């Protein structure tokens, strides 16, 4: 039965008790369960109800740039490049100031509190609230001077319907096999999630669309339907890996930043995988004694490979994954053909 609250016009639905119980067993930090949210039935933690209306009514400015994508699709990488391009190539600030402070992650619902970043609880207004950083990131996004670069993992259906009329949006897509493997590692790394199983168990949940912020295909298809809008730029992680300069030229054109080839090469160099992995400003895992991260897990900026999922899935896992690709991608409208073909 649909559940709703006065403070939140976005519909939320409880999961079936059996599924809820399964998720609570497999994820150490989902003790309050998860909710299905909105018409797309995206899985989010229950305290999202405090923020959904704020996201749906967020006031974007004409010079905002939104970097959007399903988690682990390359949004941090894109954010870093876009922030530098829109901030006069200020690499010194980029190296010395954490990316999350320069470019807020609007919907930080799996809140991790990090030393040095707005470590306040003033947003803990409601007993449901279990993420002291969510409201802080939202407030940060609201108060940041222009030009803002804002990261969002929410799908279009949970954002203001006029977003593309208000500002520019860059959607980053990545092959679901690589996203799944990368997400598995992140869900083990974040204490606020604390996935306790192995990759095979995670893939099982993935293929049943039972992962936080899923379903993947719905997220992708919502954006794909808008890909021809002049204020939307569609990027593929795989293309950025293959020919970054070409993708930076597309970004430069889209953002009208007017950078030379030499300047774009500087952005590429600054944002290389090795450099982003080596800097605490972009690699959360390098923040000493970060209380939000599980020790001993793969780093936040992890491997940066394409197609590596084939080396991580057994043949049985591959068969399950391919079945999910075929059925899952068909039920949601159009999706990028390159992710459904073999």
Question: Minimum Å distance from CB 201 to ligand PPS?
Answer: 18
- Contact letters (x/-) for ligand PPS, 18-57, by CB under 6 A? ----------------------------------------
Is the Cα dihedral 112, 160, 223, 251 positive or negative?
negative
Cβ-contact 87, 147 below 8 angstroms: yes
CA distance 197 to 268: 36
Q: Of 36, 129, 178, 209, which one interacts with ligand PPS (CB under 6 A)?
A: 178
Secondary structure class of 168 (helix, strand, coil): strand
Nearest to 41 by CA among 69, 67, 12, 64: 12
CB atoms within 10 A of CB 96: 11
Between 47 and 302, CB nearer to ligand PPS: 302
| 276-315: contacts with ligand PPS (CB under 6 A) | 276, 301-304
Q: Does 257 bind ligand PPS (CB under 6 A)?
A: no
Q: Does 73 bind ligand PPS (CB under 6 A)?
A: yes
CB contact set of 247 (below 8 Å; sequence gap of 6+): 235, 239, 240
Stretch that binds ligand PPS, among 139-147, 178-186, 191-199, 261-269 (CB under 6 A): 178-186
Q: Does 77 bind ligand PPS (CB under 6 A)?
A: yes
CB contact set of 275 (below 8 Å; sequence gap of 6+): 269
| 181-210: contacts with ligand PPS (CB under 6 A) | 182, 185-186
Is the Cα dihedral 188, 318, 172, 270 positive or negative?
positive
> Which tokens is 322 given?
């391919």
Is 185 catalytic? The answer is no
> Which tokens is 54 given?
């704020």
Nearest to 212 by CA among 184, 189, 238: 184
Q: Of 271, 281, 290, 329, which one interacts with ligand PPS (CB under 6 A)?
A: 271
Q: Does 175 bind ligand PPS (CB under 6 A)?
A: no
Between 291 and 331, CB nearer to ligand PPS: 291
Question: Minimum Å distance from CB 46 to ligand PPS?
Answer: 20
Task: Note the residues at the interface with ligand PPS (CB under 6 A).
Answer: 69, 71-77, 178, 182, 185-186, 271-273, 276, 301-304
User: Which residues participate in catalysis according to the annotation?
Assistant: 153
């Amino acid at each position: 039965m649909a559940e709703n609250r006065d403070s939140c016009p976005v519909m939320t639905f409880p999961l079936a008790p059996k599924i809820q119980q399964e998720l609570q067993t497999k994820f150490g930090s989902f003790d309050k369960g998860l909710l299905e949210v909105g018409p797309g039935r995206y899985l989010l933690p229950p305290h999202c109800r405090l923020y959904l209306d704020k996201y749906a009514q967020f006031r974007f400015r004409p010079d905002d740039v939104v970097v959007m994508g399903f988690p682990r699709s390359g949004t941090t990488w894109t954010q870093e490049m876009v922030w530098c391009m829109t901030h006069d190539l200020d690499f010194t600030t980029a190296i010395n100031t954490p990316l999350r402070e320069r470019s807020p992650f609007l919907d930080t619902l799996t809140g991790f509190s990090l030393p040095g970043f707005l470590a306040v609880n003033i947003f803990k207004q409601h007993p449901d609230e279990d993420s002291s950083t969510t409201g802080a990131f939202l407030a940060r996004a609201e108060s940041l001077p222009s030009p803002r670069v804002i990261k969002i993992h929410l799908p279009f259906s949970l954002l203001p319907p006029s977003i593309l009329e208000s500002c520019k949006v860059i959607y980053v897509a990545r092959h679901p096999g690589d996203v799944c493997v990368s997400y598995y590692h992140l869900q083990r790394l974040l204490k606020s999630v604390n996935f306790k199983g192995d990759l095979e168990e995670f893939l099982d949940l993935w293929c049943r669309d039972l992962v936080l912020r899923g379903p993947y295909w719905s997220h992708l298809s919502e954006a794909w339907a808008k890909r021809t809008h002049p204020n939307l730029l569609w990027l593929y992680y795989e293309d950025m890996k293959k020919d970054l300069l070409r993708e930076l030229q597309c970004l430069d054109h889209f953002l009208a930043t007017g950078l030379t080839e030499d300047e774009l090469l500087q952005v590429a160099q600054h944002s290389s995988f090795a450099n982003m992995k080596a800097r605490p400003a972009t690699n959360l895992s390098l923040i000493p004694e970060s209380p939000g991260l599980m020790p001993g897990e793969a780093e936040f900026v992890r491997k940066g490979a394409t197609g590596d999922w084939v080396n991580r899935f057994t043949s049985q896992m591959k068969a399950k994954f391919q079945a999910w690709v075929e059925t899952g991608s068909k039920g949601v409208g159009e999706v990028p053909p390159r992710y459904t073909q073999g």
